[in-house]
Amino acid sequence: MLSCKHIMTVSDMTPDDITMILDTADSFTEVNERRIKKLPTLRGRTVVNLFLEPSTRTRMSFEIAAKRLSADGINFTASSSATVKGESLRDTAKTLSAMACDLVVVRHKYAGAPQMLTECMDAHIVNGGDGVHEHPTQALLDLYTMRRTLGHLEGLRVGIVGDICHSRVAGSLVPALRMVGATPVIIGPPTLMPARPDVLGAEVVYSLDDALPTLDVIYMLRVQFERADAMPIPSNREYAKLYGMNAKRLAAAKPEAIIMHPGPMNRGVEISSDVADSPRCVVLDQVNAGVAVRMAVMYLLLGGEGGGTAA
């Protein structure tokens, strides 16, 4: 069993929790490769996807994960929800609680929303991304992909490149990498760095070209202009010149280094098309891993209660 009731932030988890999730995901990957990709494990359990910020891939990934475990999945999105009628998040949470949901996956524009849900409902809460704070299942699927592709996690040097300060992916990935014995290096212009990267425990490098030859994983992020108060870079052109991953840079990287991206990609900005489509780029493996890892999270949070069985 996991040590935590909820998956809120990576720092709430222990290294053993992470290992257990990744190991469990291995068995679900095997299920996902079958022709009949369905298990009865969570039959009769209700999983709500409470997505109050637009999302396609994360919502679909959780939805598929719930279906493959035979849970009843309900989608509650901002456009169809009571929130547009002015209902508060607390009231929405209490309403869901009254309907006896077992697990709620929440995606929200603001940091701390999952924490708020835990205060007003009994269900297990999974943080599907809160503001620019954390996105723990993304970090877990990234670790899973790295482990599957490179064979191990300990000792890896992982460069996270680009818009660190607006990235909940980086917010979870940096502490997760430290927990498994890897070294996170955050790379980008100072205008896209968090105020105190030292408290996250990452090395800070402003030049991608300097860091590149040392990295085992090059993790590209999209610049989230929509979250910035003022334009943090002069132009996409200059950004691509300094921080874009292209064939020339790929040639300067370690031969076994892999390219990752949480999606959606901005081709031509942080990643060139030839790199995005190269075999060194594992973005689709990440998406594939996402389903298995989310199945593992749901199974480990709910499975122990209902006496269900793993694959």
Partner 1 sequence: MALLLKNGRVIDPVAGIDEVADIIIRDGVIVEIGKDLSIPKGETLDISEKVVLPGLVDVHTHLREPGREDKETVASGTAAAAHGGFTAVCAMPNTSPICDTGSKVRFLVERAAEEGVVRVYPIGAVTKGQDGAALAEIADMMAEGAVAFSDDGRGIQDAGLTRIAMDYLKAFDAPLISHCEDESLVGHGVVNEGVISTRLGMPGWPAAAEEVMVARDIRLAELTGCRLHLAHLSTAGSVALVREAKSRGLRITCEVTPHHLFLDEDVLIGYDTNLKMNPPLRSAQDREALVGGLLDGTVDCIATDHAPHAAHEKELEFELAPFGTTGLETALSLVNTHLVATEKLTWADVAQLMCHGPRAALGLPEVSLQAGSVADITIVDPEARVEVTKDWFMSKSRNSAFLGNKLLGKASEVLVGGYFALKNGKVVAR
55 binds partner 1 (CB under 8 A): no
Smallest gap, in angstroms, from Cβ of residue 251 to partner 1?
34
Q: Considering only residues 193 through 252, tell me which ones interact with partner 1, judged by CB under 8 A.
A: 194-197, 199-200, 229-230
3-state secondary structure the chain: CCCCCCECCHHHCCHHHHHHHHHHHHHHHHHHCCCCCCCCCCCCCEEEEEECCCCCHHHHHHHHHHHHCCCEEEEEEHHHCHHHHCCCHHHHHHHHHHCCCCEEEEEECCCCHHHHHHHHCCCEEEEEEECCCECHHHHHHHHHHHHHHHCCCCCCEEEEECCCCCCHHHHHHHHHHHHCCCEEEEECCHHHCCCCHHHHCCEEECCHHHHHHHCCEEEECCCCHHHCCCCCCCCHHHHHHHHCECHHHHHHCCCCCEEECCCCCCECCCECHHHHCCCCECHHHHHHHHHHHHHHHHHHHHHHHHCCCCC
- From 37-45, 192-200, 215-223, 256-264, give the range in contact with partner 1 by CB under 8 A: 192-200
Q: Considering only residues 119 through 158, tell me which ones interact with partner 1, judged by CB under 8 A.
A: 130-134
- From 28-36, 106-114, 208-216, 289-297, give the range in contact with partner 1 by CB under 8 A: 106-114
108 binds partner 1 (CB under 8 A): yes
184 binds partner 1 (CB under 8 A): no
Q: Closest CB to partner 1 among 59 and 108? A: 108
Smallest gap, in angstroms, from Cβ of residue 154 to partner 1?
25
Smallest gap, in angstroms, from Cβ of residue 168 to partner 1?
6
Q: Closest CB to partner 1 among 114 and 308? A: 114
Can you tell me which of 71, 104, 113, 218 binds partner 1, judged by CB under 8 A?
Answer: 113
Q: Closest CB to partner 1 among 116 and 291? A: 116
State the residues that interact with partner 1 by CB under 8 A.
Answer: 88-90, 108, 110-113, 115-116, 130-134, 168, 171, 194-197, 199-200, 229-230
